[in-house]
Amino acid sequence: MNWRLPQLAIFISLLFTACVPLVTINSISEKFIDTTTSKHYDSDSQIRYCVSNDDNNLHLNLKTNHPATIAKILRSGLKVYFDKNGKKKKSVYINYPIGSSQDFQHFQTNGPGGSTSLDLKSLIHSTSIAAEFIHFEKKESFTTLNPKSNIQLSITTNETKELVYDLIIPFTEISPNGRADLFNLSIGIVTGSFDLPVQSPLENEAVDRSNAGRPTGGMPQQGASSNRASYGSGRAGGAPHQGYTDLQEESKIWFLVGLYH
């Protein structure tokens, strides 16, 4: 019955993961928020983040200069989940930007004027302003120019050329009872991912021959520190190379929030 051992190992791993408690992030007063700094950091996605609140609103601020994470947020989308029971339920969330896992080819080849490089401002400018707020079975669509109720959303860049995501949401949008019902609130920050094209070995060999001696652009390289990443066609349609690994996986950050009183 050795064939059952791998399945048992996977089951135990999933069970252990499910039992790991979420870390608690203490929110700070909105009066003292400094959006130029972020108290917390996720090493996998290279996202820095800060949570603050006043009596009526929750404020989430994210920053990153990691090219793969920027690509996933702006083209595959970002969802911010709220679970008043402190779990990882996905019944209440903001969906912005609304991305597509099929957008890799478009993102790879559609630089302005055929350029093989896109700066961050251009990427943000070409990102859809459409957004959605889902509260269980209810879905409301809106835009960042015409926000829903008091929900405020924006994506900008700062002087250090980071992508800056900013969300302010009233407590009453998360739960009808407002802040009094959110003493065990958890938040999930989840990016989209790319469906990368795959080629056969023969097709890859042909692409290699055709690209011999030519510089290639490619998607953002893993660990690149530059804020002006190359998004040229490179090996368009080719099998993903090692630097594409981050693009195929969602980035996920979950934590409990201790609201500021």
Residues whose CB is less than 8 angstroms from the CB of residue 91 and which lie 6 or more positions away in sequence, other chains included: 83, 134, 135, 136
Instruction: Please state whether 203 falls in left (phi above 0), alpha (psi between -120 and 50) or beta.
Output: alpha
Whole-model pTM? 0.76
Q: Cβ of 260: how many Cβ atoms within 10 Å? A: 16
**Sign of the CA dihedral running 169, 75, 111, 119:** positive
Question: What is the amino acid identity at position 102?
Answer: Q
Look at the block and give the residue holding tokens 């896992």. 101
Question: What are the residue ranges spanned by the domains of the chain?
Answer: 23-195+247-258
Residues whose CB is less than 8 angstroms from the CB of residue 2 and which lie 6 or more positions away in sequence, other chains included: none
22 to each of 185, 187, 188, 207, 257, how far by Cα in Å? Answer: 11, 10, 10, 46, 10
What is the dotted CATH code of the domain comprising 23-195+247-258? 2.60.40
Query: How does pLDDT run across 14-51, given as a tens digit for each residue?
Result: 554 556 799 999 999 998 877 667 889 999 999 999 99
For every one of its 261 residues, what pLDDT tens digit does the chain have, with 9 covering 90 and above?
555 655 665 555 555 455 679 999 999 999 887 766 788 999 999 999 999 999 999 999 999 999 999 999 999 999 999 999 999 999 999 999 998 765 565 555 444 333 434 589 999 999 999 999 999 999 999 999 886 678 999 999 999 999 999 999 999 999 999 999 999 999 999 999 998 766 555 555 655 555 555 444 444 443 333 333 333 333 334 444 445 678 899 999 999 999 998
For residue 74, what are its two tokens? 């702006």
